[in-house]
């Protein structure tokens, strides 16, 4: 995260067990924010060229109650032709580094 931008990437598995990425960004970074996530297609270093595209995949919300603790909620669902979802609602805690969040 930067003062003017928050970028997040989630690595998950689809319903067939294949690894997938969803990414999103929002700004500025805040103690409470909802970030819209997208899934992308098109880039493959060993494949024939296909144009890069994105599709909405849901969002995630993070709310920090203080500099070391907070809450994370995700509502991520992959778009066709993929299938799978990652939906959680749980507390989070800083594990490393000194707290610099507002």
pLDDT of 101 strictly over 60: no
pLDDT value for 27: 83
For the stretch 52-85, pLDDT in tens is 889 999 999 999 888 889 999 999 999 888 899 9
Condensed to tens digits (0 to 9), the pLDDT of residues 4-52 reads: 888 889 899 999 998 888 999 988 777 888 999 999 888 778 888 888 8
Domain ranges of the chain: 6-93
Q: What pLDDT is attached to residue 37? A: 95
According to DSSP, residue 5 is labeled B
Pairing of strands 69-77, 53-64: antiparallel
């Amino acid at each position: 995260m930067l003062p003017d931008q928050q970028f997040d990437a989630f690595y998950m598995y689809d319903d067939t067990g294949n690894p997938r990425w969803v990414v999103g960004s929002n700004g500025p970074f805040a103690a409470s924010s909802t970030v819209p996530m997208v899934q992308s297609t098109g880039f493959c270093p060993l494949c024939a060229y296909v144009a890069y595209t994105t599709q909405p995949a849901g969002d995630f919300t993070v709310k920090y109650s203080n500099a070391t603790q907070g809450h994370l909620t995700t509502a991520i669902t992959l778009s066709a032709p993929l299938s799978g979802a990652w939906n959680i609602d749980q507390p989070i805690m800083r594990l490393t580094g000194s707290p610099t969040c507002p």
